[in-house]
Structure 1
């Protein structure tokens, strides 16, 4: 019997929104507004299942819990001093690093009548990544990697080193399963940055919420793990090839007029959430 997660990937058609090459002017607030918009559109039947690929340059995305760090402002200033933009997403999880060598993928499904089980959504993304990397013959595990940043039960790893993390967001009958894939660069260097952020934000204080004790050696990029120089473009080709194999049709798309109206509302909500962090930042996302 075919696994439920594979069935979820076998949509009649996949709408593709490729935002992987928009460059540094494309900001993370926009991405989270896009996914909420697409959740509403897919959940209402306005849109078929959608795969969105996105890249953000030198950006740290914090989770809601990170806002509660006792010295969060000092940690954020450290990140800004190192040339990173900082935003707080509209969902759980903890700090992650995004840059030009990190490919993010969102799969947006309609939440069917019986509902999509949380693990089924995670498994679908895991299965997709396994298909994308099948030629390398490596076992890709999904389990929490202690010592990584933003640890979770669906950390994806090879030989015990994490290269990706999966999250989910549900909005109005739509489900967005999101993954960040560290394609190139140094996984350890990204982890060192987040380790220092938590060090400056905690200053050794005890907190009710347990933040991760980061061990940079637990993280690596796919290029490092596979001993192959991979690019975001390489992974985009693998993504599109595999979605085409799983579907009768894939087609590129942009937002419809109705979706654009929803998007602008969602973007304003994200910008308002991040107003405090942006007060000393002269730049901001373009609507």
Structure 2
């Protein structure tokens, strides 16, 4: 494969900021729509009718559940707890486990064609490299390894001195690859993790399950503001992401979605609705 710097430099990149948009294709811009639009974009990027695309998205008061979470033995009780907290629950169309989002958590999708021959490992490492570049003015201590006690733990948890502030996932659709990351920018990551901890406690109780669910320790999670002793906002980091792509020699294309993407989006959104039928009644 090409090195990481080559993969994010000297190309045309479509930059889409959905962080403040109320609608996507006249549909409410919630996490259901976000996962559907990433699938649509990954399809068109894979078909090479759209350029490499970076999409920024933010969803307040949302818990994103992985497919294994939908099999928790007392899921309904956990969802009621989430509802009582004022959170909206979504089951995403991929693996992984629960992640808590709010207005201080920035999500970025880097959507690439599959012809770079990126392995799953390569996709994760590309995003890891990008985040190291993004925050190199603040630190050179960002590491990637599983943080025990964090929510949605994995080999590409991003942390500083053992405190996790971001997690990376991947979604592969036909010939397109969406490498997705959430970054805790501000607010209390301890409070976010405490909610997820209680969600698992209530949803699993003392049942023995085939799938291993994390025993969450909120103290191993933090925001970049807590770790860097800064006061960054989501908007500031979004601008920094955009500038980094420019600094790498990229030309940023207009923020424009394609008609073909709307057609794919409609189908993918319907699939997401079907996946989420069982939990729809628990959302506020």
Number of the residue aligned with 1:6 = 5
Q: TM (normalized to structure 2)?
A: 0.95
Unpaired segments of 5 or more residues in structure 2? none
Number of the residue aligned with 1:82 = 85
Number of the residue aligned with 1:109 = 112
Offset of residue 89 of structure 1: 0.2
Distance 1:281 1:156, change over 3 A: closer
Contact 2:165-2:223 within 8 A present in 1 as well? yes
Number of the residue aligned with 1:285 = none
Contact 1:4-1:120 within 8 A present in 2 as well? no
The reply on whether 1:256 has 2:258 as its aligned counterpart is: yes
User: What is the CA–CA distance in structure 1 between the aligned matches of 2:11 and 2:166, rounded to whole Å?
Assistant: 27
User: What is the CA–CA distance in structure 2 between the aligned matches of 1:280 and 1:218, rounded to whole Å?
Assistant: 29
Contact 1:191-1:215 within 8 A present in 2 as well? yes
Unpaired segments of 5 or more residues in structure 1? 283-287
User: What is the CA–CA distance in structure 1 between the aligned matches of 2:133 and 2:3, rounded to whole Å?
Assistant: 16
Number of the residue aligned with 1:62 = 65
Alignment deviations for residues 210-254 of structure 1 (CA, whole Å, 9 cap, x no partner): 110100000000111111011001110110011112233012322
The residue matched to 1:86 in structure 2 has which SS?
Answer: strand
Offset of residue 22 of structure 1: 2.4
Contact 2:83-2:283 within 8 A present in 1 as well? no
Q: TM (normalized to structure 1)?
A: 0.94
Alignment deviations for residues 103-127 of structure 1 (CA, whole Å, 9 cap, x no partner): 0000000001x62111111111111
User: What is the CA–CA distance in structure 2 between the aligned matches of 1:266 and 1:201, rounded to whole Å?
Assistant: 28
Contact 1:14-1:247 within 8 A present in 2 as well? no
Number of the residue aligned with 1:240 = 242
Alignment deviations for residues 9-67 of structure 1 (CA, whole Å, 9 cap, x no partner): 22511101101122695210000001100110000011010000000010000000001
Relative to structure 2, which stretch is displaced further, 85-94 or 259-268?
Answer: 259-268
User: What is the CA–CA distance in structure 1 between the aligned matches of 2:250 and 2:104, rounded to whole Å?
Assistant: 30
Relative to structure 2, which stretch is displaced further, 36-45 or 6-15?
Answer: 6-15
Number of the residue aligned with 1:29 = 32
Contact 2:146-2:153 within 8 A present in 1 as well? yes
The residue matched to 2:190 in structure 1 has which SS?
Answer: helix
Number of the residue aligned with 2:100 = 97
The residue matched to 1:100 in structure 2 has which SS?
Answer: coil
Alignment deviations for residues 72-131 of structure 1 (CA, whole Å, 9 cap, x no partner): 11111100110000010000000000100000000000001x621111111111111111
Contact 2:82-2:199 within 8 A present in 1 as well? yes
Alignment of 1:128-277 (within 5 A): 128-277=130-279
